[in-house]
Amino acid sequence: MSANSLPVRGVSPSGEGIPVWHSLEVNQALNLLNSNADSGLTPEEVQQRWQKYGDNELTENSGRGSWEILLDQFKNIMLLMLIAVALISGFLDFLAWQAGELKPGEVPFKDTIAIMAIVVLNGILGYVQETRAEKALAALKKMTSPLVRVLRSGKLMEIAAKELVPGDVMLLEAGMQIAADGRLIEESNLQVRESALTGEAGAVSKQANLILPEETSLGDRLNLVFQATEVVQGRAKILVTNTGMSTEIGKIATMLQSVENEPTPLQLRMTHLGNILVIGSLLLVSIVVVGGVIQARGFSNLRQLLEVSLSMAVAVVPEGLPAVITVTLALGTQRMVRHNALIRKLPAVETLGSVTTICSDKTGTLTQNKMVVQSVYTNNHVFRVTGEGYTPTGDFLLDGQTILVEDYPEISALLLASAICNDAVLQKEQGEWAILGDPTEGALVTLAGKAGIEQDQWNSKLPRISEFPFDSERKRMSVICQVEEVATGEASLTAVDPLITSLIESEPYLMFTKGSPELTLASCTQIYLDHKSAPFTDAQRQQILAANDQMASLGLRVLGLAYRPMLEMPEAGADEKYEVNLVWLGLVGMLDAPRPEVRAAVQESRNAGIRPIMITGDHQLTARAIAIDLGIAQEGDRVLTGQQLQQMTDQELEQQVDLVSIYARVSPEHKLRIVQALQRRGRIVAMTGDGVNDAPALKQADIGIAMGITGTDVSKEASDMVLLDDNFTTIVAATKEGRVVYTNIRRFIKYILGSNVGEVLTIASAPLLGLGGVPLTPLQILWMNLVTDGLPALALAVEPPEPDVMNRPPFSPRESIFARGLGSYIIRIGIVFAIITIILMLWSYNHCQMRLVEGLDPEGLDPERWKTMVFTSLCLAQMGHAIAIRSNNKLTIEMNPFSNIFVLGAVVVTTILQLMLIYVPPLRAFFGTHFLPPTELAICFGFSTLMFVWIELEKLFFRLIGKKSV
């Protein structure tokens, strides 16, 4: 069968004529797909197959259809109440129409029509926002969509997962999310978590050499891997068999998690507030109606009572608020992405502003993750190594003199181990040396290259047959090689490279181990000196440990190297059995310079009351040197090691956790305990992580942060936020944005709710003051709540940060939204707002009555126009409020009016719109307003400025008594 008759998208692989991959031998599978295990596909083959199979992508299904999302919008209690108001108002209009009470030219049912239009518009807006937010989040997620490693034309390269085609040879390692279905070609201790597919939580061991019966169930196909499952441990080479929708997960794509678009705590609280307001307003309505009926001893004034009630019900509800909050959060995520912080879960935007503790990894986040070996320690000698970056040229110096590596057998053997016990590949890209793989390993390949020890050459002399891969728990790795000639008996030992023969006697296998010096040293029983292994003395061990401390205290990352000749090939996964009785080679110390910009970010976070903590797998002295350099810790500060942590109870750890700023030699499981201990102390913790095992800690943290560049897919999936540049500075920038978003949300909540309180009080007072009639119709109130309040509120949402935003401690995320004076502000301003409007209402009512009685009004002026004066003053006063509320403490004249041009714009546009409602006849007819002569309009403007003046005076007063409002 040729590649042309491969399974096609959507067709079951066990269907007619389609290969059953798990029942095939590796070679059969490779033949069927016209691929090659060593070189993969050629670019032409890839192109052809891509044309046939398309992108390796799943069509995501969010789980809810468009109709469902649209219908969900109307489940909102505020909209339901508006619908009820529309129906009652329609009924009243119907009565008026029947009784012939409509004025000439008046549009019947206009309140009902307008309210329903607003309900529908709100629903559509909500729908558009929700679908757009889902799409935006999905698009953002794609930015971190995984890269995969493949062999193409014999070259190892990284490509986007969606570019995979059947026949590709893909390489897997721990932490990767598998991007397509495939048949194992070879594997080393491969453990895969397939819960996404089978629901089975535990990891499954996979084996390449199995051939399984056709009927084997999905969960038992141990020689296959499946898309969307995760590599927990080990490595493997895979032949891609199915991509896109024809993978197993593709066939059940609906099971895929939908894009997470959870409501934020604030949104939930706002929904709750909305419910309370609706219930409150219904209560108010019943009180007004029942009270009115009792007072009138009958239903004679029921209509008027109903009109007042309807207006109050509409006035109390902040119809525009949910939309403004959603838009603000969305804008916040966009600003954060510009700072390289990608939000994966919306609630994170809000929580970020409350973070009190940032637990950061060292390597890559605080440091540059560009490792360069600076010194090598063997046989009591410290060799200094020169050279820059990953360029494999440089000298080895002993006591300032350049030496020839060949003259020192110990260093030669150590460099061989560095090159062989290594998964990184050093290659030239566009004229520059670069590494593919882990920078720690890259530094070691580069080091070996400086002595002319080239990986490729030695890999063929010592082919790798097995390995015990690295993980942060074990803090080491080993590879087992075959000494080709000895194993196959093809040549006598004399034909073998002398360097190798100095490591073995006649054993056919050689294991090289590298890892944390303390652990590696503890596994050694001999030391390699002068071309052979010799017993290890205690004095030698002490010297090595002292040299390790010396290197680490300079901030170097130190690795120990060792080897072991072996008679038999080790069993997979039996690392504890084989990584013993090793022969010690030496130490390598590499520099990973701190990121220069981090110092300022650490200082900024301290000023903001946020404590940075370093959590690292590295040595305590290395960690301390770098932490002190960056200002995270000070000389003499306590460092807690993983070992010490292990011996502590949770209570003991909780007592220490506020005092320790450096955790060294920790394992990922310790990270989880640290977060939990901090959280028990009431801290709001942001925690970084990159490995598979970091996922639980990332999930537990209030903000789990994954690394965009070096992070595994599993850690990204568990995170709330991804750092696109892996940089600590980005975390601090994101917390700042979080604070700005929260401050702005509080600002417009104050603005909108203050206005609502003012409206309700004004409406309620009209009948009490015996003015007869409702000053504002439901339609006018909706206009105010949605347009004249809504536009400036949106503009306030993009208010730039106040200068002290990072000079104050974080606020608790659990505080009420009304905390810190917000509730009292709303009531106070609402009352002031109402008092100003009521004074104007009384004056204008009397003024209009008087002019009517005295016959001073010219033809066409309506005596009811006092209502329009009230309506206009309420709207205009809100404009003054919008301008003044931009800062809590600064007077408006102290601020640059152009620093938020949107507020100015919103004020101008809204004022013009309001004037159009009065002076454009069709709008006037529709909104039920009346023409106002210029003097009366000027009076409205005059009264409205009182609001602005009041808020400015308040600021002055608070400044005088030394109270800072936030």
Residue with tokens 């590295």: 618
Residue from the set 237, 476, 739, 847 that interacts with ligand ATP by CB under 6 A: 476
Q: What angle do CA 208, 213, 215 make, to 5 degrees?
A: 120
Distance, in Å, from the CA atom of 720 to the CA atom of 704, rounded to the nearest integer, reads: 5
Q: How many other C-beta atoms lie within 10 A of the C-beta of residue 838?
A: 20
Select 516 or 712, whichever has its Cβ closest to ligand ATP: 516
Select 694 or 702, whichever has its Cβ closest to ligand ATP: 694
Q: What is the DSSP string of 2-26?
A: -GGGSPPTTS-TTSTT---GGGS-H
The per-type count for the chain, helices as H runs and strands as E runs, is 34, 28
Q: Min. distance of Cβ 371 from ligand ATP in angstroms?
A: 10
Q: Min. distance of Cβ 745 from ligand ATP in angstroms?
A: 35
363 near ligand ATP, rule: CB under 6 A: yes
Helix axes 321-338, 110-143, angle to 10 degrees: 20
C-alpha torsion sign, points 182, 183, 187, 191: positive
Task: Write out the binding residues for ligand ATP, residues 555-574 only, by CB under 6 A.
Answer: 557, 559
Phi and psi at residue 480, to the nearest 5°:
-115, 125
Q: Min. distance of Cβ 225 from ligand ATP in angstroms?
A: 23
Distance, in Å, from the CA atom of 304 to the CA atom of 37, rounded to the nearest integer, reads: 85
Select 238 or 521, whichever has its Cβ closest to ligand ATP: 521
Residue from the set 191, 223, 412, 440 that interacts with ligand ATP by CB under 6 A: 440
Residue nearest to ligand ATP (CB): 617
Select 552 or 875, whichever has its Cβ closest to ligand ATP: 552
Distance, in Å, from the CA atom of 443 to the CA atom of 732, rounded to the nearest integer, reads: 30
Q: Min. distance of Cβ 515 from ligand ATP in angstroms?
A: 4
Identity of the residue numbered 315: A
Select 728 or 950, whichever has its Cβ closest to ligand ATP: 728
Q: Min. distance of Cβ 151 from ligand ATP in angstroms?
A: 22
Residue from the set 22, 183, 362, 564 that interacts with ligand ATP by CB under 6 A: 362
Helix axes 728-768, 866-884, angle to 10 degrees: 160
Let me know: does 708 contact 723? Beta carbons within 8 Å: yes
Let me know: does 360 contact 633? Beta carbons within 8 Å: no
Select 250 or 515, whichever has its Cβ closest to ligand ATP: 515
441 near ligand ATP, rule: CB under 6 A: yes
Select 640 or 776, whichever has its Cβ closest to ligand ATP: 640
Let me know: does 361 contact 689? Beta carbons within 8 Å: yes
**Catalytic-labelled residue, pool 93, 168, 181, 361:** 361
Q: Min. distance of Cβ 594 from ligand ATP in angstroms?
A: 12
**Closest to 318 measured CA to CA, from 79, 631, 643:** 79
Part of the chain binding ligand ATP (CB under 6 A), chosen from 38-46, 121-129, 468-476, 521-529: 468-476
Part of the chain binding ligand ATP (CB under 6 A), chosen from 469-477, 597-605, 824-832, 921-929: 469-477
Q: Min. distance of Cβ 480 from ligand ATP in angstroms?
A: 15
Residue from the set 170, 477, 480, 932 that interacts with ligand ATP by CB under 6 A: 477
Residue from the set 40, 332, 565, 617 that interacts with ligand ATP by CB under 6 A: 617
Q: For residue 892, what are the contacts with CB-CB under 8 A and spacing of at least 6? A: 883, 884, 886, 948, 952
Select 557 or 716, whichever has its Cβ closest to ligand ATP: 557
Q: Min. distance of Cβ 145 from ligand ATP in angstroms?
A: 23
Part of the chain binding ligand ATP (CB under 6 A), chosen from 287-295, 386-394, 434-442, 449-457: 434-442
692 near ligand ATP, rule: CB under 6 A: no
Tokens coding 644: 């010490």
Q: Min. distance of Cβ 528 from ligand ATP in angstroms?
A: 18
Distance, in Å, from the CA atom of 314 to the CA atom of 310, rounded to the nearest integer, reads: 6
Q: Min. distance of Cβ 360 from ligand ATP in angstroms?
A: 8
Distance, in Å, from the CA atom of 176 to the CA atom of 192, rounded to the nearest integer, reads: 10
Select 373 or 763, whichever has its Cβ closest to ligand ATP: 373
Task: Write out the binding residues for ligand ATP, residues 495-534 only, by CB under 6 A.
Answer: 514-516
Select 613 or 940, whichever has its Cβ closest to ligand ATP: 613
DSSP code of residue 406: G
Per-residue x/- track, 907-946, ligand ATP (CB under 6 A): ----------------------------------------
Per DSSP (E only), the strands in 277-321 are: none
Distance, in Å, from the CA atom of 244 to the CA atom of 242, rounded to the nearest integer, reads: 7
Distance, in Å, from the CA atom of 818 to the CA atom of 826, rounded to the nearest integer, reads: 9
Q: For residue 847, what are the contacts with CB-CB under 8 A and spacing of at least 6? A: 866, 936
Let me know: does 726 contact 710? Beta carbons within 8 Å: yes
Part of the chain binding ligand ATP (CB under 6 A), chosen from 436-444, 759-767, 791-799, 879-887: 436-444
> How many residues form the binding site for ligand ATP (CB under 6 A)?
19
Let me know: does 503 contact 528? Beta carbons within 8 Å: yes
Select 7 or 711, whichever has its Cβ closest to ligand ATP: 711
Select 475 or 736, whichever has its Cβ closest to ligand ATP: 475
Task: Write out the binding residues for ligand ATP, residues 707-726 only, by CB under 6 A.
Answer: none
Write the CA distances from 838 to 69, 314, 616, 937, integer angstroms.
Answer: 43, 19, 65, 16
361 near ligand ATP, rule: CB under 6 A: yes
Q: Min. distance of Cβ 474 from ligand ATP in angstroms?
A: 8
Residue from the set 475, 624, 739, 881 that interacts with ligand ATP by CB under 6 A: 475
Identity of the residue numbered 99: A
Distance, in Å, from the CA atom of 95 to the CA atom of 108, rounded to the nearest integer, reads: 11
Q: What is the DSSP string of 412-471?
A: HHHHHHHHHS---EEEEETTEEEEES-HHHHHHHHHHHHTT--HHHHHHHS-EEEEEEEE
Distance, in Å, from the CA atom of 885 to the CA atom of 609, rounded to the nearest integer, reads: 26
Part of the chain binding ligand ATP (CB under 6 A), chosen from 42-50, 358-366, 884-892, 954-962: 358-366
Let me know: does 398 contact 383? Beta carbons within 8 Å: yes
Select 616 or 780, whichever has its Cβ closest to ligand ATP: 616
Part of the chain binding ligand ATP (CB under 6 A), chosen from 54-62, 131-139, 178-186, 360-368: 360-368
Part of the chain binding ligand ATP (CB under 6 A), chosen from 117-125, 164-172, 438-446, 697-705: 438-446
616 near ligand ATP, rule: CB under 6 A: yes
Q: Min. distance of Cβ 441 from ligand ATP in angstroms?
A: 5
Residue from the set 21, 458, 468, 470 that interacts with ligand ATP by CB under 6 A: 470
Count of CA atoms in the C-beta half-sphere (13 A) of 816: 9
Let me know: does 699 contact 315? Beta carbons within 8 Å: no
Q: Min. distance of Cβ 900 from ligand ATP in angstroms?
A: 40
738 near ligand ATP, rule: CB under 6 A: no
Let me know: does 435 contact 442? Beta carbons within 8 Å: yes
72 is known as an active-site residue: no
Part of the chain binding ligand ATP (CB under 6 A), chosen from 13-21, 104-112, 361-369, 954-962: 361-369
Per-residue x/- track, 302-341, ligand ATP (CB under 6 A): ----------------------------------------
Q: Which residues are the active-site residues?
A: 361
Interacting residue ranges for ligand ATP, rule: CB under 6 A: 361-363, 438, 440-441, 470, 472, 475-477, 514-516, 557, 559, 616-618
